[in-house]
Structure 1
Amino acid sequence: MSENNRLRDVFDAIADPTRRRLIRLLAEAKEIPLHELTAQFQMGRTAVSKHLTILREAGLVLDRKAGRETLFRLNAAPLREIQDWVAFYNKFWSSNLLRLNQLLEEEDE
């Protein structure tokens, strides 16, 4: 799914702690079957599947069939949007803190 065809906003998809944990688990492994992901949570297979669907709609998760199992893997490319957003504010705060520091030094003189 291309970034233009995403069904769900990446920020919305990562807003839930369960989905962030799923992303972490997927980042640590090449591919994971649904039953192994479900074993990491205190919720049923259906609930984990719903979270994976939201991540898939945001383009963060890819899946493939392997026999009777579905294997899931992370597609980290959409996370670039979040990285860019955070980088902008990192630059914003660095710049403002530098100006504040300069003002404080001028006051001390």
Structure 2
Amino acid sequence: MIQTSPIDSVMRALADPTRRAVFERIARADEINVAELTRVSGVTQGAVSQHLKSLKLAGLVAERPQGRNVFYRARPEGLAPLFDWLSHYDLFWRDRFADLRSLLKEIDP
């Protein structure tokens, strides 16, 4: 079986626009249950549950059962693989802009 990396899991989870909207809704709330997510999402409760499963497997949300309800909250640390990956490109573009700045100074003394 092929092992996926954390960045693959996060990107796959956030690639779907509906799932991304569910994650954003969770991130704006302190905690939220499936019924509330379903009410504002425009998709069925089953679909919301599947999206939550993907987000949970990617480490982006945590759940807290309370009686018959399950409450979800965002796990900001789950985004760390994405930030780490993007930080590599931040350095890449900073270097490129520095090179461009130097070149422009040479062209226009």
Alignment TM-score > 0.5, same fold? yes
Q: Deviation of residue 64 (structure 1)?
A: 2.1
Deviations 1:61-93 (A, max 9, x none): 111221111111111212011111111111110
Unaligned 5+ runs, structure 2: 1-5
Provide the C-alpha distance between the structure 2 equivalents of 1:107 and 1:101, rounded to a whole number of angstroms.
10
Unaligned 5+ runs, structure 1: 1-5
User: TM-score if structure 1 supplies the norm length?
Assistant: 0.86
Further displaced range: 46-55 or 61-70: 61-70
Provide the C-alpha distance between the structure 2 equivalents of 1:45 and 1:95, rounded to a whole number of angstroms.
47
Provide the C-alpha distance between the structure 2 equivalents of 1:40 and 1:100, rounded to a whole number of angstroms.
47
Following TM superposition, where does structure 1 have runs of at least 4 consecutive aligned residues deviating by more than 3 angstroms?
none
The reply to whether residue 48 of structure 1 matches residue 52 of structure 2 is no
Write out aligned runs for 1:1-109 (5 A).
9-109=9-109
Further displaced range: 34-43 or 60-69: 60-69
Q: CA RMSD in A?
A: 1.5
